[in-house]
Each structure stands twice: as C-alpha cells, then as structure tokens.
Amino acid sequence: MDAANHRRACLAAMGVTAWVPRAAATARPLEAPPEHLDAPGEPAPPAGVTADPAPDWDTLAATVAACERCELHQGRTQTVFGVGARRARWMVIGEAPGQEEDRTGEPFVGRAGQLLNSMLEALGMRRNEVYIANILKCRPPNNRDPKPGEVSCCEGYLARQIELIGPQIMLCVGRIAAQNLLKTQTPIGKLRGQRFSYGPQQVPVVVTYHPAYLLRTPAEKRRAWQDLLFARRVFEDASA
C-alpha cells in the first residue's frame, strides 16, 4: 500500500473520509509521510533529536519492575513501564495496563492499541516516534478504575519519565488518565478542546477519548479526530 492509501486507511479507522480531487488523486499524497523507522531494537528518535538516552532510564525501569509499593504487585504478571522513543516530542498517557498489556509488558496492544496506532498515523506519526505510558504501571484486578493510593504510588515514576523525555506535548487518552494527570474531577467532555499545562516545564496537555471507548462508541471518532487536529495545532505553536 502506498503512503497516500495508507494514510487514508488510517483516517478511515478514525471515521474520517479523506476527499481527494479526481485530477490530483495520483499527483501527491495528502501529506509527506514520516520516515520509515522499522529497524529492530531501540526505536529511532525523530529527525534532529539526539539518540543518546538519559543516563538513569535503566535504573528507573529496574525500580518500576521491582516495585511493591501497593497491593497491585501481588496480582501482576509484570509491570508495564512504557514504550517508544525516549526523546519523543509527543507523549501519550493512558490509564492502566489491561490483561493483554500485563501479559506482554507493553502499553496499548490489542484492538485499542491498533486504533491508537491509526490515530497517530493519521497525524503523520508512527508509534515508535512517540512515547506511550500509563498512569499505573500494574494492572488493576478486573481492569477496575485505579484507586487514589495506587495512583499516588506510581505518580513519581510517570513524573520522572516525563522529565527525562521532555515532550513538547502530551496527549491524555481517557477520563481517568486526564483527571489524574491534571488533578481534576472535570468530565472529559469539558476537558476536550482546551490546552492545559503540566509541571514546572509547563508541557502542553490535550485530552481526548480513550481508544477502547471509541471502539465501543464509534460515533465519537470524529470528535476524537477534532481533538487530534487541535493537539497538532498546540504542538506546532509550542514548537514555533
């Protein structure tokens, strides 16, 4: 599949029709596609970004892997630290690992992960160009909502990841991720379409629906696409 058709497929997964004039259909793709980054091992960073990881990534990962700060460690298969480019410009924050994530040790796998990949590719990015992490590093039993104490135990881990990565924008997917990161009880419908800031670096934060919710409620995909376009504008402003 060529780049233009691949992008249209990603947009279709988001419920968005990409209209192309008949005369221009073979002239050029909708946008210049990102460079292919298919090499095995450590994901390559975006162009112009150094490949040297921060020196204490491995220490942080080992600390998370051995963590027993809350009761969730008793039922986990393994922790889910995060995945992606360690100097990413975009960071995606989700809620907590599910059953498949607990098995594989990687966030956002399965159908929800495939949709997240399509959401990113519709914006012209690949999964390994961003960094993906969760509020919690261990799966709650039966995928229940995280408890405040559990979030508190993991909070420092996520904050350190954000500090090490230094993203230029963070995309919070889902109510629980957004409310915990932003320290608010505001419903997600009222958080959408706004630019928030996180931490001393005032990293821009944009909120959208969780891919799992979009799979259950496909009519909301168009609103999610609007959120992604808004996030891209915020990112471009922050990068200017």
What is the structure's pLDDT at 21? 38
Give a yes or no: residue 43 inside a domain: no
> 13 vs 5, 117, 154, 238, CA distance in Å?
12, 10, 32, 28
Give a yes or no: residue 7 inside a domain: no
Mean pLDDT calculated for residue range 216-225: 96
Q: What single letter denotes the amino acid at residue 57?
A: W
User: Which of 34-38, 131-135, 168-172 comes out lowest in average pLDDT?
Assistant: 34-38
Closest CA to 211 of 180, 170, 172, 182: 172
Q: Tell me the average pLDDT of the chain.
A: 84
Give a yes or no: residue 126 inside a domain: yes
What is the structure's pLDDT at 28? 31
Give a yes or no: residue 30 inside a domain: no
What is the number of structural domains in the chain?
Answer: 1
Specify whether the backbone of 183 is left (phi greater than 0), alpha (psi in -120 to 50) or beta: left
Q: Exposed, middle or buried, 123 (CB in 10 Å: 0-12/13-18/19+)?
A: buried
Residues 6+ apart with CB under 8 A from 229: none
Tokens 């997600």, located at residue: 188
Asked if 232 and 197 count as a contact pair (C-beta separation under 8 A), the reply is: no
Give a yes or no: residue 31 inside a domain: no
Q: What value, to the nearest 5°, has the Cα angle with vertex 129 and ends 224 and 15?
A: 25
* Structure confidence by residue, pLDDT tens digits, 105-137: 999 999 999 999 999 999 999 999 999 999 999
What is the structure's pLDDT at 12? 62
Maximum separation of any 2 CA atoms in the chain, in Å: 61
- Confidence band for 177, pLDDT divided at 50, 70 and 90: very high
Q: What CATH number does the domain containing 216 carry?
A: 3.40.470.10
Give a yes or no: residue 71 inside a domain: yes
Domain that holds residue 188: 54-239
Instruction: Report how far residue 127's alpha carbon sits from residue 113's, in angstroms, rounded to the nearest whole number.
Output: 10
Q: Tokens for 237, please give them.
A: 């402003």
Give a yes or no: residue 17 inside a domain: no
Asked if 206 and 169 count as a contact pair (C-beta separation under 8 A), the reply is: yes
Give a yes or no: residue 26 inside a domain: no
Tokens 């891919």, located at residue: 211
Mean pLDDT calculated for residue range 202-227: 97
